């Protein structure tokens, strides 16, 4: 099977064609409670009759090794062989966890991504990153493993509430900020008020693919894609450990982009005017993430576990102007705490 990327109305029929190949012994579909109810009915007509559905709980809390064990147990009970295919139907949790499970089961079975959220369609399902959270840290365990195919059908976005749609939009904004200034300026005009997402998804995925192709294993340029994520992951991880205060990934990334744009100004890379444009736009889409100023140091400490770090150095992606990201920019925990205080005062 060759890796394939299909975006648009033909995506699911093309998935069906791949699953009909003789090299496929059995098809398993991994869904969560929500995608099993809302999205599986759209996918089912394109699946072989003898497929098996594996369902896991919905939400970031389920993105753990314990959930992986449940998936591996079910595959083992069904005696799934190395010619089985796992179709991951869901958002970032399902596509990340499903890819991780497939990569490790019997040293690797093929998997296909059918992302159902905007976040997964423009980011999580593309690029070959898989993983789960561990000890409260986002995506702390994982492997690089390309899916056999990614099938993106924008019709799934109709199943999302506005908050989930906006969460995914943060990654669209990020791609413009690091690699396409014109796209960011267009986003400032159109915002999330888009009737047909197909072209937006295609463009955003193309920007990510171009970066990933240069650096599949994140040794260099791929780190550009982490803009907003050093502070964003720290904030998300901190709040994930506070029951009732959890936020969505894109909401954390949006806050992280404000903080890291401010750090870009402090490092002499970004102008105050550009920072104002970024802030004004992001706050027009996203509500401010709530935390108290006394928590900023504790949140910043989470950045010590960021996967891009080298030893004790926290490596951050910053902006050298809108549309131009720069990676491996060393920042301190104190600077991250200062950026959070800045965000808190806005």
pLDDT in tens, 244-261: 999 999 999 999 999 999
Q: Which two tokens stand for residue 268?
A: 């002499």
How many Å apart are CA 149 and CA 11, to the nearest integer?
A: 10
- Residue 222 annotated to the active site: yes
How many Å apart are CA 202 and CA 328, to the nearest integer?
A: 28
pLDDT at position 149: 95
Q: Tell me: pLDDT of 281 over 70.
A: yes
| HSE, side-chain direction, 13 A CA sphere, residue 200 | 24
Q: Tell me: pLDDT of 3 over 90.
A: no
Query: Kindly report the CA angle at 148 between 67 and 62, in degrees rounded to 5?
Result: 15
What would the mean pLDDT of 1-7 be, rounded to a whole number? 79
Residues 6+ apart with CB under 8 A from 17: none
pLDDT at position 306: 79
| Per-residue confidence band for 28, with pLDDT thresholds at 50, 70 and 90 | very high
Q: Do the domains 162-345 and 4-159 match in fold?
A: no
Query: Kindly report the CA angle at 156 between 150 and 162, in degrees rounded to 5?
Result: 125
Of these residues, 63, 129, 175, 308, which one is catalytic? 129
Q: Which two tokens stand for residue 13?
A: 């029929």
Domain residue spans of the chain: 4-159, 162-345
- Residue 138 annotated to the active site: no
SS3 31: strand
pLDDT at position 24: 94
Q: Tell me: pLDDT of 2 over 80.
A: no
Query: Kindly report the CA angle at 129 between 248 and 180, in degrees rounded to 5?
Result: 70
* pLDDT tens per residue, range 131-164: 999 998 888 999 999 999 999 999 999 999 999 9
0.85 exceeded by pTM? yes
How many Å apart are CA 28 and CA 105, to the nearest integer?
A: 13
| Per-residue confidence band for 187, with pLDDT thresholds at 50, 70 and 90 | very high
- Residue 288 annotated to the active site: no
Of these residues, 171, 236, 251, 335, which one is catalytic? 171
How many Å apart are CA 130 and CA 115, to the nearest integer?
A: 14
E strand map for 127-242? 132-134, 137-141, 149-152
The CA R_g of the chain, rounded to the nearest whole Å, is: 20
- Among residues 179, 192, 218, the alpha carbon closest in space to that of 118 is found at 192
pLDDT at position 1: 42
Of these residues, 74, 166, 175, 249, which one is catalytic? 249
Check: CB of residue 230 under 8 Å from CB of residue 308: yes
Q: What percent of the chain has pLDDT over 90?
A: 90
pLDDT at position 43: 98
Q: Which residue has the tokens 């072209």?
A: 199
- Residue 249 annotated to the active site: yes
SS3 298: helix
Other Cβ atoms less than 10 A from the Cβ of 74: the count is 18
What would the mean pLDDT of 24-42 be, rounded to a whole number? 97
How many Å apart are CA 62 and CA 285, to the nearest integer?
A: 28
What would the mean pLDDT of 311-324 be, rounded to a whole number? 92
Of these residues, 26, 146, 218, 335, which one is catalytic? 218
- Residue 233 annotated to the active site: yes
Check: CB of residue 320 under 8 Å from CB of residue 264: yes
The class level of CATH for 162-345 reads: mainly alpha
- Residue 267 annotated to the active site: no
Phi/psi of residue 22, nearest 5 degrees: -60, -25
Average pLDDT of the residues of the chain: 95
* pLDDT tens per residue, range 64-92: 999 999 999 999 999 999 999 999 999 99
Bridge partners of residue 110, in order along the sequence? 85
* pLDDT tens per residue, range 118-133: 999 999 888 889 999 9
Check: CB of residue 147 under 8 Å from CB of residue 125: yes
What would the mean pLDDT of 255-278 be, rounded to a whole number? 98
Which carries the bigger pLDDT value, residue 6 or residue 124?
6
Of these residues, 77, 107, 190, 345, which one is catalytic? 107
Question: Domain 4-159 maps to which CATH number in 3.40.50.720, 3.40.50.10310, 3.20.20.140, 3.40.50.1970?
Answer: 3.40.50.1970
pLDDT at position 276: 98
């Amino acid at each position: 099977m060759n890796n394939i990327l299909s975006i648009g109305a033909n995506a699911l029929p093309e998935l069906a064609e791949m699953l009909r190949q003789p090299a496929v012994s059995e098809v398993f579909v991994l869904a969560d409670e929500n995608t099993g109810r809302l999205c599986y009915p759209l996918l089912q007509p394109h699946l072989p009759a003898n497929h098996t559905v594996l369902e896991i709980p919905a939400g970031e809390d389920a993105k753990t090794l314990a959930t992986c064990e449940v998936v591996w147990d079910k595959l083992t009970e069904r005696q799934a062989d190395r010619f089985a295919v796992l179709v991951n139907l869901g958002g970032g949790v399902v596509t990340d966890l499903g890819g991780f499970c497939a990569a490790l089961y019997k040293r690797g079975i093929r998997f296909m991504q059918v992302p159902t959220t905007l976040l997964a369609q423009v980011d999580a399902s593309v690029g070959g990153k898989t993983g789960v959270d561990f000890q409260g840290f986002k995506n702390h365990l994982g492997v690089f493993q390309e899916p056999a195919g990614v099938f993106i059908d924008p019709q799934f976005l109709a199943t999302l509430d506005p908050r989930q749609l906006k969460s995914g939009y943060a990654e669209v904004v990020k791609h413009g900020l690091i690699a396409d200034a014109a796209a960011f300026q267009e986003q400032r005009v159109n915002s999330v008020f888009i009737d047909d997402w197909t072209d937006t998804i295609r463009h955003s995925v193309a920007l990510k693919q171009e970066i990933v192709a240069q650096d599949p294993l994140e040794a260099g340029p791929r780190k550009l894609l982490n803009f907003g994520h050093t502070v964003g992951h720290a904030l998300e991880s901190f709040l994930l450990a506070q029951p009732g205060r959890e936020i969505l990934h894109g909401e954390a990334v949006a806050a992280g982009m404000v903080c890291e744009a401010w750090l870009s100004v402090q490092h002499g890379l970004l102008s105050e005017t550009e920072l104002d444009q970024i802030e004004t736009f992001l706050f027009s889409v996203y509500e401010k993430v709530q935390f108290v100023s006394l928590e900023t140091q504790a949140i910043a400490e989470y950045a010590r576990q960021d996967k891009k770090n080298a030893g004790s150095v926290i490596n951050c992606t910053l902006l050298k102007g809108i549309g131009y990201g720069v990676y491996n920019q060393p920042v301190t925990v104190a600077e991250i705490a200062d950026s959070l205080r800045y965000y808190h005062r806005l």
